[in-house]
C-alpha cells in the first residue's frame, strides 16, 4: 500500500487540525518528525515536532495500527500546509473527508440548529448512502422518482443546513428594530422613536420556528432632504440596506398600522429574493384583526415570532418541521448536483456513479 496523507478536519483556521498518515512507512515517517518517539499502536503520545532543526509544534500522535498514525496539531493553516508538504513527499495527499458519512460528521460540529444536527446525524449513520445504493436495484422510472424526491428534500433541508438571509426593511419608525429584538429574544438593536436611529446593518442568527435564519436589521427608508452630516450617514445606512435587500432570500417589508404614521411606500422592487408584507403596531389599529400578518412585536413578542415564522415558511415553501427521522437527505449543493447526474444511468455505470457520490465525488463524468 502506498503512503497516503489525509487532512481529516476542514481546511482553514481552527483550534486543532487532524492529519492521518496511512501505508507502509507511516510510523517511521512520524517517528522521524518527532525525534524517534515511541508510537506503538493504541497509545497516544505528546510529542515535539521538529523539521530541519526547527521546532514546529507540540502535538498528540497516536499509532492506530502498524501502518496508520494520526496526528493532532494546532489548527494553523501554514503549519498544516508545511506538515502535509513534508509528510506527503512521494505520497498521495487527500484533503477533506472521503465518504459521505465523514462529510456529514464534520458538518455536524457546525450545525446551525438542532434539526440541522439531526439531519446530519442521520446521514452520518448511513441514511443517504443506503438509499443511493438502493437505486441500483430499481427500474428507470422508480429511480427517477427517488432522485426527484432526494432533490426536493435537499431544497427543503438546505434552509436548515444553510440558514436563509432575511432582511427586515421598511420606512422609519415601522418597528424594524423592535421586531428584530423580538425575533432574537433579546435587546440587540437600539429602539427609539427618533427617526434614523438604525444607521448600519445588524446581523444575527435566529430561529423562525424550527428554521434557522440570518436576520438583518436595516436603516429605515424616508425622504433624505434633511441637511448635515447626520443625514449623510443615515443615507449610507439606507444604501447598505438596499444592497442587503438585493441579495436576500426574503425581505420582510414592514407597514405600520399606526394611524399617526406618515403614508407608507409600498414594498421595494429592488430585492433579489421574495418580499413579504408584515403589518406592525397592530395594537394601535382598530381593525387589525382583519389584516393578515398584523403583529405587535412590543406588546406580543411570542405572537410576532409565530407570525413571522409562518410568513417565512410560506414565502420559501417550507414545512413546519424540517426533519423526518431517518430520512435520506443530500447535505451539500455539490452532493445534490452529483445525485442529479445519476438520472438516466443504469447497470454497472449507475453502480459506479453511486459509489462515487458516496465516496465523496462532486462531479461525475
Q: Where are the beta strands (DSSP E) in 117-234?
A: 164-169, 202-208, 211-217
User: At CA 289, angle to CA 284 and CA 290, rounded to 5?
Assistant: 120
CA distance 361 to 358: 7
Using CB atoms within 10 A of its CB, is residue 73 exposed (0-12), middle (13-18) or buried (19+)?
Answer: buried
How many Cα atoms occupy the beta-carbon half-sphere of 327 within 13 Å?
21
CA distance 240 to 234: 10
Average pLDDT, the chain: 83
Contact 309, 250 (CB under 8 A): no
Q: What are 11-59's pLDDT values in tens digits?
A: 666 788 888 888 887 888 888 888 877 777 777 888 899 888 888 899 8
CA distance 363 to 350: 14
CA distance 313 to 236: 31
Q: What are 122-151's pLDDT values in tens digits?
A: 999 999 999 999 999 999 999 999 999 999
H or E element at residue 77: helix 77-87
Query: Pairing state of beta strands 250-256 and 164-169?
Result: parallel
Contact 244, 252 (CB under 8 A): no
Q: What are 205-231's pLDDT values in tens digits?
A: 999 999 999 999 998 777 655 544 456
Amino acid at each position: 500500500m502506498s503512503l497516503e496523507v489525509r487532512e481529516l478536519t476542514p481546511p482553514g483556521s481552527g483550534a486543532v487540525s487532524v492529519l492521518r498518515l496511512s501505508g507502509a512507512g507511516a510510523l517511521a515517517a512520524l517517528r522521524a518528525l518527532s525525534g524517534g518517539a515511541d508510537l506503538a499502536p493504541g497509545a497516544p503520545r505528546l510529542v515535539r515536532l521538529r523539521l530541519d532543526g526547527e521546532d514546529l509544534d507540540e502535538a498528540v500522535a497516536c499509532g492506530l495500527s502498524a501502518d496508520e498514525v494520526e496526528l493532532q496539531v494546532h489548527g494553523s493553516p501554514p503549519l498544516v500546509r508545511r506538515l502535509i508538504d513534508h509528510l506527503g513527499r512521494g505520497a498521495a495527499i487527500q484533503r477533506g473527508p472521503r465518504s459521505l458519512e465523514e462529510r456529514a460528521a464534520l458538518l455536524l460540529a457546525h450545525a446551525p440548529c438542532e434539526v440541522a444536527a439531526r439531519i446530519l446525524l442521520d446521514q452520518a449513520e448511513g441514511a443517504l448512502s443506503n438509499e443511493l445504493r438502493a437505486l441500483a436495484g430499481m427500474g428507470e422510472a422508480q429511480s427517477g422518482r427517488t432522485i426527484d424526491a432526494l432533490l426536493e428534500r435537499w431544497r427543503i433541508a438546505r434552509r436548515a443546513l444553510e440558514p436563509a438571509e432575511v432582511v427586515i426593511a421598511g420606512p422609519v419608525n415601522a418597528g424594524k428594530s423592535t421586531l428584530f429584538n423580538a425575533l432574537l429574544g433579546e435587546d440587540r438593536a437600539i429602539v427609539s422613536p427618533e427617526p434614523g436611529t438604525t444607521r448600519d446593518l445588524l446581523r444575527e442568527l435566529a430561529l423562525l420556528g424550527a428554521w434557522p435564519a440570518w436576520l438583518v436589521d436595516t436603516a429605515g427608508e424616508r425622504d433624505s432632504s434633511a441637511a448635515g452630516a447626520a443625514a449623510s450617514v443615515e443615507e449610507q445606512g439606507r444604501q447598505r440596506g438596499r444592497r442587503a435587500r438585493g441579495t436576500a432570500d426574503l425581505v420582510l417589508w414592514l407597514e405600520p398600522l399606526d394611524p399617526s404614521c406618515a403614508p407608507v411606500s409600498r414594498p421595494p422592487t429592488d430585492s433579489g429574493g421574495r418580499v413579504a408584507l408584515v403589518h406592525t403596531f397592530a395594537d394601535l389599529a382598530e381593525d387589525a384583526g382583519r389584516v393578515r400578518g398584523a403583529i405587535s412585536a412590543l406588546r406580543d413578542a411570542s405572537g410576532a415570532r409565530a407570525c413571522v415564522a409562518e410568513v417565512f415558511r410560506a414565502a420559501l415553501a417550507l414545512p413546519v418541521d424540517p426533519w423526518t427521522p431517518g430520512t435520506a437527505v443530500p447535505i451539500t449543493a455539490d452532493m445534490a448536483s452529483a445525485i442529479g447526474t445519476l438520472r438516466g444511468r443504469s447497470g454497472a455505470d449507475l453502480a459506479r456513479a453511486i459509489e462515487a457520490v458516496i465516496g465523496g465525488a462532486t462531479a461525475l463524468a
